[in-house]
Structure 1
């Protein structure tokens, strides 16, 4: 299995069963049957948690947290080097700071970034990372 990084967008559409959720489900299934978990920055995980609180409530966010913990997803801490790379992407303009962490992680891990967020088109033009669009 190829290496994939999930942007928060991927899990948000998964939980809401919006366009692209089936592709996320397929990646989760593939990861559960391999030794390669999907990767996600804790910053992006926090964005998923926050979104569930705002759009539903704290209980829904906590249920989403438990579900994510049971998924084949490795949560990666935002260390100094990852944050430095994210800051470089942020300097391009037009990209949310949390999204820059997903891009930085994908670059560092030489992984494919899974998203449907159009903000990533700006980062895609750098040629640093490959994207799987939902």
Structure 2
């Protein structure tokens, strides 16, 4: 395992102090102590930013972006291979397209997927998932 890949569901729960935030914080602390990567797919980062802006405005969006960097997240660029794999997952499973990117990036990076999104139940046989709820 190279670390943990956090989907937008998990990070939004953390940043908005919603149910599951404590579990996300614990996983982050543990990953820092063990020097494991904290990853986020660029597509999911964009999802966090647009949802934050829509709900709370530009200032909060910029604050969240700054916190993502301060927490040492590695933002994963989206390669052609990831796009094609995400498209395959979208064709096969009832998941949002953004979630398919989190899945593809998690598998590509041998990372545990951190989420509370029930859509990932359908693909739990493909990747190790740590549930926040």
TM > 0.5:
yes
Q: Which consecutive residues of structure 2, in runs of 5 or more, have no partner in the other structure?
A: none
Show the counterpart of 2:70: 70
Contact 2:40 2:73 survives alignment (8 Å) = yes
Q: Is the 8 A contact 1:28 1:72 kept in 2?
A: no
> How many residues align structurally?
132
Which position in structure 2 is the counterpart of 1:129?
127
Query: TM-score w.r.t. structure 2 length?
Result: 0.93
SS of the counterpart of 2:118? coil
Name the structure 2 match of 1:99: 99
Partner of 1:114: 114
Cross-structure match for 1:9:
9
User: What's 1:46 paired with?
Assistant: 46
TM-score for the superposition, normalised by structure 1: 0.92
Deviation at 1:32, TM superposition (A): 2.4
RMSD value over aligned CA atoms?
A: 1.4
- Equivalent residue for 1:80? 80
CA-to-aligned-CA distance 1:62-109 (integer Å, 9 cap, x gap): 110011110121110001011111111111242111100100011112
Deviation at 1:33, TM superposition (A): 2.5
Alpha-carbon distance between aligned partners in 2 of 1:24 and 1:93, rounded to the nearest angstrom:
25
Alignment gaps of 5+ in structure 1:
none
